């Protein structure tokens, strides 16, 4: 057992009052009480204490029998001389049990033990046997007059019938309850390992939760597993396995028949209030009985303060539910129906639906789904709605509008799980996009609005957004519906949520943010938790596009934390938050953190992680094309970064991703997303020397972005990479002529930093510093260290040399420098300040040197290489000397060989 259940020690205050300590250990059958007492007895005996042990039987519930039992146990615990004195105490053997003689016996036993002086422990197991008035009185006398060196341990299934209150007041009582006897997870694992069972950590945790640490049930489960049965099968069947129920029967055997009936009547709810117990049992004393059971039987537990509720142990509830079904299936269904009606009246439609399904009452199910089905989905209770809809649709042949409503609800469940084919099947079964026909219990107007917004949701996942449809849905949401229609408020939240997210993918970011920020406040007030998580994730994407990265980080972190606390960490709705969080880590030079986050996103996207309440059999998920692109693109960025020491691998990553980048021309994506992805892909292509890929990316940008500043910035990067600096500066001046020409903030920072680098190369320190300062201010707001370091190698040199001249950006500059040195960034400028990377590292080449190296296998002459670069032959010769020195070679042939070894060619 645990260290805190080590052998007890005498209570100091009891000893000071010349009284012995009393220890009461209570717990269920099989809770480990006897095992604990045996362990204590061994420890106490080895410490030199006297230990006497007695296990009570039914016949010991008698004063004379109890006297003999106690004297026999004490005889074993006392020294030889004290044993002789004790043997002479036989005052009640003639059967005359007057109060005076009982007290005289107890006093003489106490005097004998006191005279022995040695500490003595009397352990009485199964003390619940003592029930008769005479036996209880005899035991009470012994407890009351126990001397300071006599300590009595009572182990029982419930509190023994002795004066525990008086012992507490005397500060002599130590109480160990069932909760302290329960095994914790580590002890459960230890017990299973001791039985030779090799279970995974998750399997151990699951078994521990199912048994709730009840020692006997863990031991029985271990015995079952030792027989060779499948672990998952045993765990799945736990609580419905009759092989474990004899434990429950042992516990119930001690309870009155009317209590058995009460437990059967009240076993179906997971949580039971006094009011519900009265309804189900018909007993007006149900609350008092539950309180008594919780006090005396640890298979019933209580939670909460004034608004308390009760729950039955997993095994007890499993036994009772099966027993109730065996006695009468009709009685069981009737109880489920009463519970459903009770919960519905109190606003718990999720719990009500579960019990309505079990009751098989179709009318109640339809009413619950009509009144609260959409609200439950907004709260995140997809699984129960999905089960209820499937149950009602099976065999429903009348009321077409009602059937349509159910299919539309099922489509929402499927869409939230990313199961687009299943969603479309339900939408088609609902009659497509057409309006509702005949009136019914489901409001046709509300049904038409719900159908329209679900189709909009579907269109977004298909990448087929129609702006006019989005505006129509927003317009419908703004209209005030009938106050008597209970679903109007829920429908408006769903409309605003779906349309708000659609606005983001149409590039209408400011509108989308305004709608979603309004929705998240309303949803939080209404308890629509799934909506809160979805809005937060979407807002992280919106602020990425708007360039407000501080808000992006806050919303992404909030969404991930909020989802994790509610078991929704694998929801497809959370994918934008994972991408945003990965982007934050990527920008902060934390490629491992970014890889972990984007790995989770990929697992959700590929169906390797179960989405919350995902329909059975779902193989992967379908989300909006923009989300898919974001996940795949971020993976390529992260992999490229992690392959920094492997130029060959970086080139492979860029080439492999390029085919997917070209598909941007085939979709309807926001220009912000297009510009960001093209800019990053273009940068990676230039960094690893894939000039042809960079040119193709620039051509695609010209087609998709047109005459925008973003295209000019990409063209300037390519020109600078090819040493056409005058052309690069001209392009940059055009792009930076007015801020609105470069609407993507990320690309504007690239333009400013590149301008600073080119000005520095041309001996214009004032121009360089001004551009650098403006670029740093924006980069700081973006929170991107990486962006500052990757535009050009001169930037790091400018940061180091300009320390003290950056004003409000000084702290950010120091953070960038420190981050670069800590992360081991591979730019040549960094290494001049950070020291060599060591002999095992690949050489660090400037972009010009890398381009020159990749042209050497062509066998072009030096003048031809110079003409291709629009520089003089002497410049090429200077670059060759630097290249040869870095590669550690002496000629062109050796340089080509070294470049191939390093993966640079």
Q: What's the pLDDT tens digit per position in 600-612?
A: 999 998 876 544 4
Q: Does an H or E element contain 46, and which?
A: helix 33-46
Q: Which two tokens stand for residue 519?
A: 């929705």
CA distances for 445 relative to 112, 431, 437, 449, 452, angstroms: 91, 15, 10, 6, 11
Residue where the block lists tokens 């109060």: 99
Residue 262 and residue 286 in contact, taking contact as beta carbons nearer than 8 Å: yes
Our measurement of the distance from residue 816's CA atom to the centroid of its chain's CA atoms, rounded to an integer in Å, reads 33
Tell me how far apart the terminal alpha carbons of the chain are, to the nearest angstrom. Answer: 66
> What is the structure's pLDDT at 731?
93
Mark the ranges of the chain whose per-residue pLDDT is less than 50.
1-2, 92, 438-440, 610-618, 826-842
> What is the structure's pLDDT at 719?
92
Which of 715, 621, 690 has the alpha carbon at shortest distance from 419? 621
Which of 504, 547, 546, 579 has the alpha carbon at shortest distance from 784? 547
What distance in Å separates the CA atoms of residue 529 and residue 377, rounded to the nearest whole number? 9
Strands 22-26 and 150-156: parallel
Torsion of CA 425, 430, 433, 436, to 10 degrees: 180
What distance in Å separates the CA atoms of residue 192 and residue 567, rounded to the nearest whole number? 28
Residue where the block lists tokens 């305004």: 514
Our measurement of the distance from residue 115's CA atom to the centroid of its chain's CA atoms, rounded to an integer in Å, reads 63
Phi, psi of 117 (to 5 degrees): 65, -30
Which of 622, 696, 710, 609 has the alpha carbon at shortest distance from 655? 696
727-736: long-range contacts (C-beta < 8 A, 24 or more apart)? 728/754, 728/758, 729/755, 729/758, 729/759, 729/762, 732/758, 734/709, 735/709, 735/710, 736/709
Q: State the CB neighbour count (10 A cutoff) for residue 94.
A: 9
> What is the structure's pLDDT at 609?
56
Q: Does an H or E element contain 181, and which?
A: helix 178-181
Strands 300-303 and 173-176: unpaired
Strands 22-26 and 173-176: parallel
Q: Provide DSSP, 629-668.
A: HHHHHHHHHHHHHHTTT-HHHHHHHHHHHHHHHHGGGGS-
- Is the torsion defined by CA of 571, 572, 574, 580 positive or negative? positive
Q: Provide DSSP, 429-448.
A: HTTTTSPP-S--SS-HHHHH
Q: Which two tokens stand for residue 408?
A: 């539309």
**Tell me, what DSSP letter sits at residue 225?**
H
Q: Provide DSSP, 703-725.
A: HHH-S-HHHHHHHHHHHHHTT-H
Secondary structure in 3-state letters for 237-285: CCCCCHHHHHHHHHHHCCCCHHHHHHHHHCCCCCCECHHHHHHHHCCCC
pLDDT tens figures, 467-495: 999 999 998 887 755 555 557 889 999 99
Our measurement of the distance from residue 51's CA atom to the centroid of its chain's CA atoms, rounded to an integer in Å, reads 50
Residue 562 and residue 757 in contact, taking contact as beta carbons nearer than 8 Å: no
Helix (H, G, I), strand (E, B) or coil at 784: coil
Q: Which two tokens stand for residue 546?
A: 């708007």
**Tell me, what DSSP letter sits at residue 23?**
E
Q: Which two tokens stand for residue 884?
A: 């040869």
What distance in Å separates the CA atoms of residue 523 and residue 583, rounded to the nearest whole number? 27
Torsion of CA 883, 885, 891, 895, to 10 degrees: -50
Q: Is 636 exposed, middle or buried (0-12, 13-18, 19+ CB in 10 A)?
A: buried
What distance in Å separates the CA atoms of residue 517 and residue 535, rounded to the nearest whole number? 8
């Amino acid at each position: 057992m645990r260290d805190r259940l080590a052998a007890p020690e005498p209570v100091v205050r009891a000893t000071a009052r010349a009284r012995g300590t009393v220890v009461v250990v209570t717990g269920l059958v099989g809770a480990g009480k006897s095992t604990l007492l045996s362990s204590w007895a061994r420890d106490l005996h080895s410490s030199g204490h006297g230990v006497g042990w007695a296990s009570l039987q039914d016949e010991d519930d008698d004063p004379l029998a109890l006297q003999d039992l106690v004297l026999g146990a004490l005889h074993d615990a006392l020294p030889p001389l004290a044993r002789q004195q004790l043997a002479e105490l036989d005052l009640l053997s003639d059967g005359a049990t007057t109060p005076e003689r009982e007290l005289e016996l107890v006093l003489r036993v106490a005097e004998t033990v006191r005279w022995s002086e040695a500490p003595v422990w009397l352990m009485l197991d199964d003390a619940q046997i003592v029930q008769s008035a005479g036996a209880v009185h005899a035991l009470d006398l012994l407890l009351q007059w126990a001397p300071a060196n006599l300590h009595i341990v009572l182990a029982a299934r419930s509190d023994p019938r002795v004066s525990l209150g008086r012992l507490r007041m005397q500060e002599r009582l130590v109480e160990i309850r069932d909760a302290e006897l329960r095994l914790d997870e580590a002890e459960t694992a230890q017990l299973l390992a001791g039985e030779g069972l090799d279970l995974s950590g998750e399997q151990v945790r699951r078994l521990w939760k199912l048994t709730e640490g009840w020692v006997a049930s863990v031991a029985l489960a271990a015995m079952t597993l030792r027989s060779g049965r499948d672990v998952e099968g045993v765990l799945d069947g736990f609580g419905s396995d009759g092989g474990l129920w004899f434990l429950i029967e042992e516990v119930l055997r001690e309870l009155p028949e009317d209590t058995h009936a009460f437990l059967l009547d009240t076993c179906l709810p997971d949580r039971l209030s006094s009011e519900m117990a009265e309804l189900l049992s018909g007993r007006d004393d149900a609350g008092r009985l539950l309180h008594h059971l919780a006090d005396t039987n640890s298979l019933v537990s209580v939670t909460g303060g004034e608004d308390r509720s009760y729950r039955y142990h997993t095994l007890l509830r499993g036994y009772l539910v099966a027993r109730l079904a065996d006695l009468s299936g009709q009685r069981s269904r009737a109880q489920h129906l009463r519970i459903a009606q009770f919960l519905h009246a109190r606003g718990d439609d999720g719990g009500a639906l579960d019990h309505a399904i079990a009751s098989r009452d179709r009318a109640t199910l339809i009413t619950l789904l009509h009144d609260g089905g959409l609200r439950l989905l907004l709260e995140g209770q997809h699984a129960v709605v999905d089960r209820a809809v499937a149950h009602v649709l099976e065999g429903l042949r009348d009321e077409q509008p009602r059937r349509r409503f159910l299919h539309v609800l099922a489509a929402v469940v499927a869409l939230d799980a990313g199961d687009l084919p299943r969603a479309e099947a339900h939408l088609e079964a609902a009659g497509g996009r057409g309006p509702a026909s005949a009136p019914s219990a489901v409001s046709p107007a509300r049904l038409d609005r719900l159908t329209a917004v679900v189709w909009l949701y579907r269109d977004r996942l298909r990448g087929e957004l129609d702006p006019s449809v989005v505006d129509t849905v927003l317009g419908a949401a703004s209209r005030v519906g009938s106050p008597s229609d209970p679903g109007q408020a829920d429908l408006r939240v769903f409309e605003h949520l779906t349309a708000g997210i659609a606005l983001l993918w149409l590039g209408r970011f400011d509108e989308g943010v305004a709608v979603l920020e309004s929705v998240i406040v309303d949803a939080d007030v209404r308890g629509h938790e799934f909506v809160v998580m979805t809005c937060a994730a979407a807002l992280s994407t919106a602020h990425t596009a708007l360039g407000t990265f501080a808000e992006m980080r806050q919303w992404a972190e909030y969404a991930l934390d909020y989802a994790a606390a509610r078991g929704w960490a694998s929801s497809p709705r959370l994918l934008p938050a994972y991408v945003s969080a990965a982007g934050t880590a990527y920008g902060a030079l934390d490629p491992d953190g970014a890889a972990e986050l984007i790995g989770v996103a990929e697992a959700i996207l590929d169906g390797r992680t179960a989405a919350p309440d995902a329909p059975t059999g779902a193989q992967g998920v379908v989300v909006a094309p923009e989300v898919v692109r974001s996940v795949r693109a971020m993976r390529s960025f992260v992999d490229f970064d992690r392959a920094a020491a492997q130029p060959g691998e970086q080139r492979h990553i860029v080439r492999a991703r390029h085919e997917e980048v070209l598909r941007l021309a085939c979709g309807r994506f926001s220009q912000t997303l297009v510009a960001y992805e093209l800019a990053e892909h273009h940068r990676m292509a230039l960094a690893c020397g894939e000039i042809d890929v960079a040119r193709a990316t620039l051509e695609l940008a010209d087609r998709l972005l047109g005459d925008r500043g973003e295209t000019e910035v990409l063209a300037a990067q390519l020109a600078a990479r090819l040493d056409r600096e005058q052309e690069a500066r001209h392009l940059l001046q055009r792009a930076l002529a007015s801020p609105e020409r470069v609407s993507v903030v990320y690309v504007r920072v690239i333009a400013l930093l590149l301008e600073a680098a080119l000005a520095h190369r041309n001996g214009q320190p004032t121009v360089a510093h001004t551009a650098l300062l403006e670029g740093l201010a924006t980069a700081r707001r973006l929170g991107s260290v990486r962006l500052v370091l990757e535009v050009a190698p001169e930037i790091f040199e400018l940061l180091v040399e300009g320390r003290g001249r950056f004003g409000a950006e000084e702290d950010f500059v120091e953070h960038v420098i420190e981050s670069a040195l800590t992360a081991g960034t591979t730019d040549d400028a960094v290494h001049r300040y950070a020291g060599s990377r060591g002999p095992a590292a690949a050489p660090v080449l400037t972009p010009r040197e890398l381009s020159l190296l990749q042209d050497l296998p062509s066998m072009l002459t030096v003048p031809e290489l110079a003409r291709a670069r629009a520089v003089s032959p002497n410049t090429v010769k200077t670059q060759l000397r630097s290249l040869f020195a870095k590669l550690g070679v002496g000629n062109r042939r050796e340089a080509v060989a070294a470049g191939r070894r390093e993966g640079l060619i």
